[in-house]
Structure 1
Amino acid sequence: MTMKLKSLFITTLVLLPLISCTKKNLDTGVKTLRVPLSDDVKTLDPARAYDSISLSVMPLMNESLYQYNYHKRPFTLEPLLAESLPEISKNGLEYIIKIKKGVLFHSNEAFKGPRELKAQDFIYAWKRIGIPEVTSPGTWIFDGKVKGYNLFMKGLSKESDTVALKQSVEGFEVIDDYTLKIVLEKPFPQLVHILAMGFTAPVAQEVIEKHGHHHLITNAVGTGPYVLDQFIQGSKLILKKNMNYRKELYPQIPEGVKEPAMAKLEGKTLPLVDVVEFHIFKESQPAWLNFMAGKTDVSGIPKDNFSQVMTSSMGLTDDLKKKGISLHSYTPALMFWLEFNMKDPHVGGAKNKFLRTAVSHAIDFKVFNEKFLNHLGVHTSGVLTPGLEGFRNDTSKIPEFSIEKAKKLLADAGHPDGKGLPEIIYDVRGSGTSSRQMAEFFKVSLKKVGIKIKIVPNSFPGFLEKARNGEIQFSIGGWQGDYPDPQNFLFLLSKVSLPPGPNSAQYENEQYEKLFSEIEFMEPGERRVQLIHKAEDLVLADHPRAMSYYLKRLALYHKHVVGYRPNGLINNVYKYVDIQR
């Protein structure tokens, strides 16, 4: 078989299942939204889901008390499972929350019949986050904030899960079946944002008692607009409309945002499509071929196809417009960086600061941006993204690309031309082509100054598992903001987030910790901004990261897709999307 025929054969195999599925849906009138994913879904457990891929899926089945309005900017919280926003005491320590009545969990054999959501289901889920077997990266959301949660966490290693989950937490109280009370150690203005996170979704105790904690990794028993129909690891995940979902309506669209097709969605019952199919494409080209063939409905833009899609003025080419493809651009609260394990004897600690700084000078971000980011990356000096309080980008503090400076710093580190420096292990962040090519780019760049890199391949879930165990020496790190507050980015470098939390760099600095503990509980204001900048300066001085950058995003969708407005913060986007053929 010639290479050309072989390529055609493989492409046909990739497309056939989607072609068959699409024809069936058109014939039956079922509205199906087909979404590509770049890797496997690691988990559907709300206590565990904390990566961008899992969070594309899980919130469609598991809901929290609050959500962000789909259209209002700045981002505005609104009730989801809650009846209203919380009643907060004058001292900021007590929150009373009413939950909606008549909300049902998805059907499950653990239930004897229809199972209504109760206040106790939230308390159970919040305590479950701390159970060692669950290994949740979300313990930070309550630890040190909710009264008694720290003591609860300390006692867990001495008790079995069953006993521990029966223990009370002083700061959690069920007033009645539909009323919760939360008591804080001290005022924490971000708590309402926390209660919009997937970690806080309720869990029915009966499901865990019947199936065990690990059941929720590949199963979902939530209250959301979709129920899990199929989950085939490495292939696809299919959600179907929850026929017992309560009445939720499409929100009002502000003037200036409305488009004729979108305007017709106002007041319609959610969700809008019957089926959401997630198809896993670990390589960008099969994903792109399926989108261009109309077999998936939305897409990003692969770097190898960028010039075919975008003009020099960053608009869509006429060819794409003629095909009925539209563009949505946005700047999410999303950052990436090169990350060093600060506990590692070869790259971490104060003694290896010159080595880490040498890495910063050895990599040409302009070339990296062109090769891998299509010029959509913005090199930044800080740890925040645009739109967050305290954001600044002081370009004078960004290490310039200079082979000479990198070599001098490496010599200052005691390794002239790399002599005596052990090979550094670089873990690839996922199995896609782009991730592997980035690794090779870093390897070639660092070799020029005498730093040798050994590349270790990983699946994306495998990479995340290593990060949660603190087992990565050098890699690309990244963060998608959970809520629009700088605390959510600064905590990544706090000791409260050490593995299995998201501080996979294992960075610790007492001065930073003192600043962070003050920033975390402050209301927005000038004093808070000053402290944020001091904290950023400490990070710049210690250099646990190199080459930090934030991204502009471009999303494509076909003309039959209405209401698709990804923004990087709202994870249940697909319940607002319609198919109109």
Structure 2
Amino acid sequence: MLKHAVIPFLVGAGLLASAPFASAATNLVFCSEGSPAGFDPGQYTTGTDFDASAETMFNRLSQFERGGTAVIPGLATSWDISPDGLNYTFHLREGVKFHTTPYFKPTREFNADDVLFTFNRMINKDDPFRKAYPTEFPYFTDMGMDTNITKIDKVDDHTVKFTLKEVDAAFIQNMAMSFASIQSAEYAAQLLKEGKAADINQKPIGTGPFVFKSYQKDSNIRYTGNKDYWKPEDVKIDNLIFAITTDPSVRVQKLKAGECQITLHPRPADVEALKADPKLQLISKPGFNLGYIAYNVRHKPFDQLEVRQALDMAVNKQGILNAVYQGAGQLAVNGMPPTQWSYDDSIKDAAYNPEKAKELLKAAGVKEGTEITLWAMPVQRPYNPNAKLMAEMLQADWAKIGLKVKIVSYEWGEYIKRTKNGEHDISLIGWTGDNGDPDNWLGTLYSCDAIGGNNYSMWCDPAYDKLIKEAKVVTDRDQRTTLYKQAQQLLKQQVPITPVAHSTVNQPLSARVEGFKVSPFGRNVFSGVSID
């Protein structure tokens, strides 16, 4: 059940009455898997954070179609690209209103000033707002957008021009990603004047389909439908509640009991029972994801290639696939999934060989009984249904080659923060693609620019970086594919990661829910969703 603090609200809605909450046709409860670290999408990189902020309360200039990878207009109705690919002119939608809340009442509609504030804050460390509220924007910088966008001009109130230093073949796709959500410049100015700049992360204001109401960490987030949304046909829910439920078995119980109408990441063992329940529907799709092991090359002895090779060949991947994914996934051998264009299917795994792994460790001077830490995620993710079990299996695998493995875990937000700081020896992590472009894998996860962001291996290889940067400024797909395949070969040779699996995504929801579409990018989007 939800914690006591939210019971009065939910009793009124019917959750604790004899009829299921879904009987109130304009209310929906989503059993989410974790607490967001905050509500400023630019600061974060995880689906947990984006679901709670970008996908509920915000819009981008361009957006992805619901359930697909195609880019469609958002807060920009159209855009023009210069012949040299260095200038993007966005024509902004008129009549868009920012949210009205007890803490902010806008006096104007969305315009170019909001676009300039959103991106200048991420680019310019001397921006007044950023000085008042020092923060980082890992996604933006991981992708090199902070250095590639050289200028943003306000042509007029409804036209903005971006100038790039180099061609970025995925620029429009990148602008549709969650981190590029548009903030209110007027609200930011109010917060600066009040000396409360940090409230942008706790009291959000967007233009999206839902308006923030309240948040109780580890319990719930409450939103109301935006009656002034610029696309009114997409707002079919009066009250949206995130019931934060970390235990997957409890999420399933709540779904079956009608205490929530949508949930996510069921345990593989629960899938068949969910399929058989006539009150439920289960949507299954091949996952555009990767679960992997990241070796921190800045920690000894993982700075040695032979050590990383030894650990890699000592992992019994098939055993993990059988026990952890239970048939709901496929073995991974590469740094991105095979459904991503430019995937190099010539790459093969090193054979499972604990004896050879022992020899490599001995040659590298690693003594038997050496202690290492293995960090395991505390939550389920689309790419890893049970990190604790995977960690225990790896602990056993690496014990066979003489290593003493200590398993470490933290609360999800803390886990991400600490691994980005490089405090781990080895971490279990993963990724769900965000925009359909290879750079979203090969650049965002393994580049030098991504250290301190999503590069959990802290690995920086100049030859690799040169290839992916060249690929990003070429618009011909065949040329890009050639470069990305070379980069994948280098990644495999240097072993900063061990790819483990690509999991199948299973999305359980009430049979009464209509209009919900599974995102290939692992987002949970509630615009256009209703209950019959």
* TM-score normalised by structure 1 residue count: 0.82
Trace 1:118-197 onto structure 2 (pairs within 5 A). Answer: 118-130=111-123, 131=125, 133-140=134-141, 141=143, 142-147=145-150, 171-197=151-177
Task: Kindly indicate whether the alpha-carbon contact (under 8 Å) linking 1:129 and 1:138 is maintained by their aligned counterparts in 2.
Answer: no
Amino acid at match of 2:87: E
Residue number in structure 1 paired with 2:480: 528
Please say which of residues 402-411 and 431-440 is displaced more in the overlay. 431-440
Q: Which amino acid aligns with 1:498?
A: I
What is the aligned partner in structure 2 of residue 566 from structure 1? 518
1:407 is displaced (CA, Å) by 1.9
Secondary structure of 1:549's counterpart equals: strand
Give the paired residue count: 508
C-alpha contact (below 8 Å) 1:389/1:524 kept by paired residues: no
Higher relative contact order (CA 8 A, sep 6+): 2
SS of the residue corresponding to residue 436 of structure 2 reads coil
Cα gap change, 1:14 to 1:558, in 2 (>3 Å): farther
SS at match of 1:539: helix
* Contact 2:98–2:207 under 8 Å retained in 1: yes
Higher Cα radius of gyration: 1
Measured against aligned partners, the alpha-carbon deviations of 1:246-279 in whole angstroms (never above 9, x if no partner) come to 235xxxxxxxxxxxxxxxxxxxx11122222111
Match of 1:44 among 30, 39, 43: 39
User: Does the residue aligned with 2:435 lie in a helix, a strand or coil?
Assistant: coil
Which among 443, 449, 454 is matched to residue 401 of structure 2?
449
Counterparts of residues 405-416 of structure 1 (less than 5 Å): 405-415=356-366
**1:157 aligned partner:** none
User: 2: distance between equivalents of 1:28 and 1:560?
Assistant: 9
Residues of 2 paired with 1:14 and 1:337: CA distance? 38
Cα deviation code 1:291-319 (max 9, x no counterpart)? 12121112346336336427xxxxx3xx4
Corresponding letter in the other structure for 1:134: T
Of the three residues 495, 500, 511, the one matched with 2:448 is 495
Query: Matched residues in 1 for 2:496 and 2:215: separation?
Result: 38
Q: Does 1:82 align with 2:76?
A: yes
Partner of 1:64: 60
Q: Distance in 2 between matches of 1:576 and 1:450?
A: 54
1:221 equivalent in alignment to 2:169: no
Contact 1:43 1:216 in 2 (8 A): no
Aligned to 1:151: none
* 1:301–1:205 distance in 2 versus 1, CA, 3 Å: closer
Runs of 5+ consecutive residues of structure 1 not aligned to the other structure: 1-9, 148-170, 249-268, 311-315
Contact residue 63 and residue 74 of structure 2 kept, 8 A: yes
In the other structure, the counterpart of 1:243 is: 227
Distance 1:111 1:215, change over 3 A: closer
Displacement, 1:517? 1.0
Question: Of 275, 280, 299, which aligns to 1:325?
Answer: 280
Separation in structure 2 between the aligned mates of residue 304 and residue 385 of structure 1, nearest angstrom: 20
> What is the 5 A alignment of 1:345-384?
345-348=300-303, 352-384=304-336
Question: Is the contact made by 2:419 and 2:456 (CA closer than 8 Å) also made in structure 1?
Answer: yes
Q: CA deviation at 1:440?
A: 2.0
Distance 1:211 1:27, change over 3 A: farther
Tell me the residue number matched to 1:55: 50
Contact 2:315 2:352 survives alignment (8 Å): yes
Q: Distance in 1 between matches of 2:4 and 2:321?
A: 33
Between the aligned partners of 1:307 and 1:70, the Cα distance in structure 2 is 24
What percent of counterpart residues are identical?
22
Tell me, yes or no, if the aligned pair for 1:332 and 1:567 is still in contact at 8 Å: no
Taking the aligned partners of 2:436 and 2:386, their CA distance within structure 1 comes to: 29
SS of the residue aligned with 1:552? strand
Q: What's the CA shift string for 1:89-125, capped at 9, x where partnerless?
A: 1111111111111211112466565431111111111
SS of residue in 1 equivalent to 2:229 = coil
Q: Which amino acid aligns with 2:360?
A: L
> What letter corresponds to residue 427 of structure 1 in structure 2?
W
Counterpart of 2:447, as a letter, is S
> Is the CA contact 1:15–1:295 (under 8 Å) kept in the aligned structure 2?
no
